[in-house]
């Protein structure tokens, strides 16, 4: 079976017995305040490359926006589909990224690693002066945006990774990743009936546990939005449009799980979350690129998306979305998701 091409880093594969296993060997170079790896934080030096379709990249889009890093870390958007070699910049004029001057993200990877053997993945951060990829370690990227880039945060930026809560955030985020973020892929790319059924049960056991946790508190950790919420949200946003049918995660739709559905709508209606989600690109990616699962490459018209804007009622649980901070301002020109996608 082919491996999922939106994997966060490296090739993924189906192991003996049909169980999906993800390669987690990333480019671990970090951009830090002290420049310990040779890449110090500098305004204007780096470019964050993402694809709206990818849940791992969607996290970075959200965190960059919540922290107000638009003026110091530029962003480039790949299209929702790609070929076997690379994510491509087919949304840009001439199919070329206007800052990096390349048609394929692969070019930035090979500029630094001429024999790079793994998948070309998003999110990735590229050093603009050299045109070389710095990192594709999706989990570390968002943590570093919160901690290493703090000198460039907007006034009123929220604390997404507050030091007193980091141990709990890490613990919750680890379970979210292994059981939910990766759990849907474990279902979708299972290579046997037994592996699929085990993955299915494991996923919904985790979702039930998360639902129970969120039944009495508005957010996953503490009373404000944290990194843990960002990580869960991007999977929930894709659940009904993609994972329920395409990945056979069909015990229930998200819209049929009352606590998680209300939680997801709460975040979606929070500035910085829903305004980064492009459902059309999400569906195009999964249903077209994963041709081994969907050979016809037909993209479904549904589901109806207007219900994302219905009242969620989560305010009764208290909590302050941005803590002592403030919401981000309007989305920048050129980075907006078309509003008509929710009509």
Query: Chain-centre distance of CA 98, in angstroms?
Result: 23
Nearest to 24 by CA among 164, 159, 138: 138
In the annotation, is 263 catalytic?
no
In the annotation, is 185 catalytic?
yes
DSSP 21: E
With contact defined as beta carbons under 8 Å apart, do 89 and 78 qualify? yes
Among the listed residues 26, 46, 54, 177, the single catalytic one is 54
What is the side-by-side order of every strand in the sheet holding 124-127? Answer: 74-78, 46-51, 124-127, 132-135
Q: CA-based diameter of the chain, in Å?
A: 55
With contact defined as beta carbons under 8 Å apart, do 257 and 251 qualify? no
Calpha distance 127→25 (Å, rounded): 20
Residue 56 assigned as binding residue:
no
Among the listed residues 26, 109, 177, 185, the single catalytic one is 185
With contact defined as beta carbons under 8 Å apart, do 113 and 136 qualify? no
| Residues with active-site annotation | 54, 185
Q: List, as residue ranges, the binding site for glutathione.
A: 87
């Amino acid at each position: 079976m082919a491996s999922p091409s939106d994997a966060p880093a490296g090739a993924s594969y189906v192991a003996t017995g049909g169980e999906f296993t993800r390669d987690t060997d990333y480019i671990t170079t970090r951009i830090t305040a002290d420049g310990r790896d040779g890449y110090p934080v500098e305004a204007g030096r780096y470019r964050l490359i993402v694809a709206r379709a990818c849940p791992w990249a969607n996290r970075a889009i959200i965190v960059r926006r919540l922290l107000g890093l638009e003026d110091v870390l530029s962003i480039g958007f790949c299209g929702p589909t790609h070929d076997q070699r690379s994510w491509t910049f087919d949304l840009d004029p001439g199919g070329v990224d206007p800052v990096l001057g390349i048609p394929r993200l692969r070019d930035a990877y090979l500029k630094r690693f001429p024999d790079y053997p793994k998948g070309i993945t998003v999110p990735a951060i590229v050093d603009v002066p050299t045109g070389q990829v710095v990192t594709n370690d999706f989990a570390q990227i968002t943590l570093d945006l919160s901690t290493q880039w703090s000198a460039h945060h907007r006034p009123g930026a929220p604390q997404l990774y507050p030091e007193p809560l980091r141990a709990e955030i890490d613990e919750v985020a680890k379970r979210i990743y292994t059981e939910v973020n990766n759990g849907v892929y474990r279902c979708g790319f299972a290579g046997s009936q037994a592996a699929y059924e085990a993955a299915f049960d494991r996923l919904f056991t985790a979702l039930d546990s998360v639902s129970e946790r969120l039944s009495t508190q508005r957010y996953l950790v503490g009373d404000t939005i944290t990194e843990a919420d960002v990580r869960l949200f991007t999977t929930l946003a894709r659940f009904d449009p993609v994972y329920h049918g395409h990945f056979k995660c069909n015990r229930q739709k998200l819209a049929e799980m009352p606590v998680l559905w209300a939680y997801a709508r709460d975040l979606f209606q929070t500035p910085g979350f829903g305004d980064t989600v492009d459902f059309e690109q999400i569906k195009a990616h999964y249903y077209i690129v994963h041709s081994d699962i969907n050979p016809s490459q037909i993209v479904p018209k549904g589901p109806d998306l207007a219900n994302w804007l219905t009242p969620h009622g989560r305010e009764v649980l208290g909590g302050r979305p941005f803590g002592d901070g403030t919401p981000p301002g309007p989305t920048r020109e050129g980075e907006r998701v078309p509003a008509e996608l929710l009509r």
